[in-house]
Amino acid sequence: MRRRIEDMVIVITGASSGIGRATALALAKQGGNIVVTARRQKALDELAEDCKALGGHALAIPVDVTDESAVQALARQAIETFGRVDVWINNAAVTLFGRFEETPAEDFRRVIETNLFGYVHGARAILPWFREQGQGILVNVSSGVGKTGQPFSCAYAISKFGIIGLSDCLRQELSGTPGIHVVTVLPAAIDTPIFQQGGNYMGREATPMEPIYDPEVVAEAIIEAILAPRREVIVGGSVRAALVAKQLAPGLFDRWAARVVEKKHFAMRHTPPNSGNLFRPLPEYASVHGGWRRPKPKPSFLPLAFAGVLGLAAGIGFAEVMRRS
């Protein structure tokens, strides 16, 4: 029988804004049964209302994913409400901008605690239930920078590297239970409020780098992955291009990243050092979009062109070598 979202029970962490919120709404549109969680109760309640209005069933449970026992309780409550959990989406993430040696240690640690341990807690809470059910899908939302790295967002990037590792290890451990899938999602720059909410010690406002994609695009990709589980899902051509570029010329790529990120990832507007939403949630920004993608993006072909030029150069070099030999 074809799987249908309306027959599924889905837990989403970090659902108060951005990709999590977009995914919850997209699932609600298809009648899904959703348990939404994040730190902000008010934002969650409103989201649950919106989900219901779209035709889904939603349960809002405020949880800080760094608290393992709270995450365990979340899983139990989801199970007791709907009878089972089919999909668990680890999505809650915070970020921190600044030079590696200038970001405070506690902020740095907090990013890893939330982004990486938050996912570990989610996986530890739900996998026993998945094993008992004999099936389940664990979706870990990582990021394109989890493969390529990114300067001035070091804590964030290494947490995303870690998530990819977590997914891989779990997939290996779970190879004996074909009903359980682990999906890693690698989105590009997405128009979410994370840039406004992140801790920032850069001195300049953070702004996503073009091309920016809508959170709904990621939501769509996650839903596809739920209906037909895959190992990795890349969202956004820019990630694919960056992976190719990094593969072809890693040294050049790193130098390019250093230059471009400093120029394009931060606006020329001053912002005082702050830890953003790392330690306490901000009441504003409880939205899907961050407002970065207005009115229409100009598609940036820069990374693509970069990869193209490299490819061409490699081709010519190869031909040259072949001719001489």
Partner 1 sequence: MTARQAFRAHWTEVNGLPVYAQVSTPSPPGAQAVVLVHGLGLSSTYMMPTARELARDYRVLVPDLPGFGRSGKPESVADVPELADNLAAWMAAIGLEKAALLGNSFGCQIIVECAARHPERVARAILQGPTTPREERSWFWQFVRWRQNPNPNMGPIARRDYRAAGFGRVLKTFRYSLEHPLEDRLEQIQVPVLVVRGSRDPICRHGWAEEVAERLPRGRLVIIPGVHHTLVFTHPVELARVCRPFLAGEEPPASIPQLARPPQPTAEALEAPPLAQFDSASGLVRALGAYLNGQDFPLLGAYPSWMEPGWKAVGAAVNALPHPLKRQVYIWSGRSGAIAPERLGAVRAEQLAEWAVARYPRKPYPAAMIGSSNGALLHLGAALGIPWLPQTFLIPVRRDGIAPEEPSAELEWGKGPGARLLAANPDLILHHMHDPNQDYLMIQRMSYFRVKYRRLPQGYRRFLTETLAPGATLFVVECALRWPTVQVADRHIFQTGALGGLTPEEYLEGSSRLAEFLKRQGSDPARWEAPRPDGERPEAEWGFEPTLRQDLEQLARDHGYRLIHIVFDHPEDASPLVADFYRAWYRRRKLPANRLLVANFILMEPYWTLRTGSVPFWTVFNAEPSAETLERYLEASEAYDDICLMLFSHGVHSAGLASIERWRKILQRAGQWGAFIGVDEAAYPGDFATFARYRQSLKRTIPARYPLPAPLGLQDLDIFLDRAGNHYAVRWGNDRSPR
Rounded to the nearest whole angstrom, what is the least distance from the CB of residue 26 to partner 1 in the complex? 13
Name the one range near partner 1 by CB under 8 A: 45-53, 88-96, 305-313, 314-322: 45-53
* Given 57, 131, 171, 240, the residue binding partner 1 (CB under 8 A): 57
What's the order of all strands across the beta sheet hosting 9-13?
A: 57-60, 33-37, 9-13, 87-90, 136-141, 180-187, 232-235
Q: Does 8 bind partner 1 (CB under 8 A)?
A: yes
**Bridge partner residues of 11 (DSSP):** 35, 88
Nearest to 144 by CA among 187, 185, 87: 187
Comparing CB distances to partner 1, the nearer of 36 and 233 is 36
Q: Does 45 bind partner 1 (CB under 8 A)?
A: yes
Joined together, the tokens standing for residue 317 give 């070099």
Based on its alpha-carbon atoms, the radius of gyration of the chain, rounded to whole angstroms, reads: 20
Q: Which of 156, 201, 213, 285 is catalytic?
A: 156
Site for partner 1 contains 260 (CB under 8 A): no
SS3 readout for 131-143: HHHCCEEEEEECC
Residues in the chain: 325
CA distance 73 to 27: 23
Note whether 58 binds partner 1 by CB under 8 A.
Answer: yes
Does 284 bind partner 1 (CB under 8 A)? Our answer is yes
Of 52, 145, 159, 162, nearest to 111 by C-alpha is: 159
Residue 53 touching partner 1 (CB under 8 A): yes
Binding residue for partner 1, selected from 67, 70, 72, 81, defined by CB under 8 A: 81
Active site residue 119: no
Only segment of 147-155, 182-190, 287-295, 301-309 that touches partner 1 (CB under 8 A): 287-295
Nearest residue to 140 (alpha-carbon basis) of 168, 174, 108, 111: 168
88 binds partner 1 (CB under 8 A): no
Query: Can you give the binding site for partner 1, defined by CB under 8 A?
Result: 4, 6-9, 33, 45-46, 48, 52-55, 57-61, 77, 79-84, 132-133, 193, 196, 283-287, 291, 294-296, 298
Active site residues: 156
